Amino acid sequence: MRKKGMYRVAVIVAAVAIAFFSGCAKDSSDDSFDILDQTLQGQFDGKSFSLVSGYAEDEYFSPTDCEVELFNVAPASGLSPWDIGAYPSGSGYLEVGFSVPQAVGTYKLSLGPQTATLYDPANDHLNIICDEGSIRIDSISGGYITGAIAARQSDDHDQYVNGNFSVPIKPY
């Protein structure tokens, strides 16, 4: 009789554990973590973002990393994307920024070691920190960095970007 009672307890514990862990699983129909094969686009601060220009450069504090800046507008006439004044206030620009190692690979977003920032200078310099998703670097060659990003804020899934990018690397 004692073995039968232990068996019942084990079955109940297993059932509760299965119910708990399956209830905590992310919805697999939610594709916002998957990188979509499209030009980078998204929405943040109630505005739509579609990639138009950008650039990459060596990270100032970590020369083995690369800082990537992506914009929804072209740089001002006659300026390169990395020039001071290329994206003047009032131009309506939105910016996506992140740093990654200067190596091909996929980098998971999380608070602390790897985030992406969605920036709207028109809204009192609003910074939205994205800590869910990933950044994938496909190549760094021929003066360009090419990859993709799917990023969103963990507590507000209406703030996101998703898609491919290819931008020039600032020459030195």
Three-class SS of residue 130?
strand
pLDDT tens per residue, range 22-55: 443 333 334 347 999 999 999 998 999 999 999 9
CA distances from 163 to 29, 34, 88, 100 (A): 18, 9, 25, 16
pLDDT tens per residue, range 95-127: 999 999 999 999 999 988 899 999 998 887 679
Any idea what the Cα angle at residue 64 is, between residues 60 and 66, rounded to 5°? 60
Closest by CA to 164, choosing from 36, 30, 56, is: 36
Question: Is the Cβ–Cβ distance between 100 and 65 less than 8 Å?
Answer: yes
> Considering the entire predicted model, what is its pTM?
0.79
Q: Which two tokens stand for residue 133?
A: 């998703």
Rg (CA), the chain: 21
Burial class (CB in 10 A: 0-12, 13-18, 19+), 113: exposed
Distance CA 35, CA 163 (A): 6
pLDDT tens per residue, range 67-78: 999 999 999 999
